[in-house]
Amino acid sequence: MQKLKVFGPKRLKGQIKISGSKNASLPILAATLLSSNKLYLNNLPKVKDIETMINLLKSLGSKIKFEKDKLLIDNSKQKKIFASYNLVKTMRAGILVLGGLLAKFGNAKVSLPGGCAIGTRPIDIHLKALSKLGVKYRISQGYVHASAPKGLVGSKIRFSKISVGATENLIIAASLAKGVTILKNCAVEPEIKDLVKFLNKTGCNLKWISKRSIKIRGVESIKDTIYSVMFDRIEAGTYLIAAAITGGNLKIKNIDPNIINTEINILKKIGAKLIVKKNEINITGNKKVKSVNIKTAPYPGFPTDLQAQMMVLLCKANKKSFIQENIFENRFMHVAELNRMGAQISIKGNKAIIDGNINFASAELMATDLRASVSLILAALTAKGKSIINRIYHLDRGYEDIEKKLKKVGAKIKRFK
């Protein structure tokens, strides 16, 4: 099992180019199942989740290869409808092939998904919505057995709660459904907007008709296209927070600052200095970190995927701060490890109370999920001495070349077995 050694304290200085978005790439890759021809994708991040999704598509019959920096997906012989547990168990996004398979073939057998252990995240919202498009389903031995005897037929659907995955699955499924589908109470994360842009470029007919409502007129088939995936806003936010934590100075490149306004405003509130340009941000950390209270929320609120990283920063604040986690019920597993490093964080229900004014001490640590993994790296960068982080396979699921990027800006970090 691989581990990381992190030596601190280190002040980060230099520039980091942000990779393509994992959370945008995964639904777009799933949506390529709608095609019976060829598609090219640019700017995919080189992370484990993308590799897993590519292997899942290959298992379904897609022919996939890299041509220079582009990923070519050829679905001219893609006919399989079985998504196995072995490929879906490690990531939540595996369930997104369900919508595409049902739209294309009217049948699918897909394993219930896995991923980070940050909450139950049931797929009942996906299944209830798909049933309104004419899908019949049952769950047996860990698999969803689904069929649409008369094909998918457009409908008006209001999600019972905002769900990123359910919104993505229904957008994909409805793109080939007969007639018009209107989805209400949709998630509107930038990654979903990117999925819609991709589908429209392939000839689908999707239009936002209000802030959280989208109208989808089904088409018979989609055309060949080349598409470049958006930047990873969570990776960008992580490195912005890293600069603030270490009192560093970083230029974050290859981004659209308009997409991360919430994060920018919070970092300004805590005292970081930011110069925002068209495709980049210069950030300088302040020795004095001001406390803030944060509630995670669906976009455009503060993202749950940056909650752990922000918690590390608030451990440095001048007084007590609060973080309320409103998305996942089990996303404070990093707290115990941060407290072992000297943090003073207590949990009451879905609220973390962070005392502030602490100096992290180096320690041997255990990563519990993807974002918790990177939060431990951020804490270790400010701690005197050597910290060791175990179970870093979570990290490789979502951050491209993290050691290389951190080394370039002054971190002393090393992977070992």
Can you tell me which residue has the tokens 């509630």? 295
Is 186 labeled as catalytic in the residue annotation? Answer: no
> Could you give the 3-state DSSP secondary structure of residue 368?
coil
Round to the nearest angstrom and report the end-to-end CA distance of the chain: 6
Integer Cα distance of 190 and 24 in angstroms: 8
Contacts 24+ apart (CB under 8 A), 111-114: 111/83, 111/84, 111/85, 111/87, 111/142, 111/143, 111/144, 112/88, 112/139, 112/142, 112/143, 112/144, 113/88, 113/89, 114/88, 114/89, 114/90
Give me the catalytic one of 116, 186, 204, 315.
116
C-alpha distances (whole Å) from 204 to each of 39, 279, 281, 302 are 14, 29, 34, 31
For residue 272, the one-letter residue type is A
Question: What 3-state DSSP class applies to 148?
Answer: coil
Joined together, the tokens standing for residue 227 give 């598409």
Q: Do 147 and 123 meet the contact criterion of CB atoms below 8 Å apart?
A: no
The closest of 138, 171, 174 to 153, measured between CA atoms, is 174
Name the residues annotated as catalytic.
116
